[in-house]
Amino acid sequence: MIEPKKLQINTPDNEYLVVPCPSCDKETRNKVLADVFEHMQYADALIDVWTNYKIVQCQGCLRVTFFEVSQCSEDIIYPKNGKPFYPETKTYYPNRIAGRPLLRNINYLPRGVNLIYKEAHNALCAQLPILTGLGIRAIVEAICKDKNMVGRNLQEKIDSLAKQGLVAIEGAKILHNLRYMGMLLHMKLNHIPRKNYVQHSMSLSTFYRVFTLYQNNLKTYQKWTIN
């Protein structure tokens, strides 16, 4: 077991940070209740890792959560203009992304869609873009299966959803976009630079929008809850 080179525990009186709050579903002012700084060294002190573990309390809803911020000497970036720096990696517990809450009333979604949606949402909040992309593709397939859509492929099945009025034209376009996203993953996973794929997957606001459509469009939503 490697001992930390340095371990420092603080309980600051007056330190505040802006971080996403899972209850308020937005970035809020949080009071730092406790902060543990840890400096680890690996590979005969060739690699340094600095981590701050923070317990914070939202000053809006008073919820207490936890997050860590770490930097590694191996990740150093040399910008063309400016000083070298170590990028920060932030991890929140529970996982969260401001503005991407679970949908309200998701229990009204068909069971198969509901289960996949919750797992895909967890992957999204944990910033796992590849698993999120797979989850989105699975959601689209589950929607078509639930509605017994006919068609030789997923594209035709989504078109059937629109023809039968189960999704609006805009909703069908979004589903096609999600299908295309999943298709890219299936066909080109090994050829997509991770950076590009992350950017691609981060456009997953469509993931949120398509289901918001169901929530906002009562007629469509009722069709989903019949059966």
Burial 120-142 (b: 16+ CB within 10 A, else e): bbbbbbbbbbebbbbbbbbbbbb
Q: Three-state SS string across 157-198, please?
A: HHHHHHHCCCCCHHHHHHHHHHHHHHHHHHHHHHHCCHHHHH
Under the binding rule (CB under 5 A), the answer on residue 60 touching Zn ion is: yes
- Binder of Zn ion out of 61, 76, 115, 189 (CB under 5 A): 61
- Which range in 14-22, 101-109, 138-146, 158-166 contacts Zn ion by CB under 5 A? 14-22
- Binder of Zn ion out of 19, 21, 120, 210 (CB under 5 A): 21
What is the separation of C-alpha 31 from the centre of its chain, rounded to a whole number of angstroms? 24
Least Å from the CB of residue 30 to Zn ion: 8
Closer CB to Zn ion, 21 or 139, in the complex: 21
Contacts of residue 199, defined as CB under 8 A and 6 or more positions apart, other chains included, come to: none
Under the binding rule (CB under 5 A), the answer on residue 58 touching Zn ion is: yes
Question: Using CB under 5 A as the criterion, what x/- string covers residues 132-161 for binding Zn ion?
Answer: ------------------------------
Enumerate residues 26-55 that contact Zn ion by CB under 5 A. Answer: 28
Least Å from the CB of residue 15 to Zn ion: 17
3-state DSSP assignment of residue 96: coil
56, 48 in Cβ contact below 8 A? Answer: no
Enumerate residues 169-188 that contact Zn ion by CB under 5 A. Answer: none
Contacting positions for Zn ion (CB under 5 A)? 21, 23-24, 28, 58, 60-61
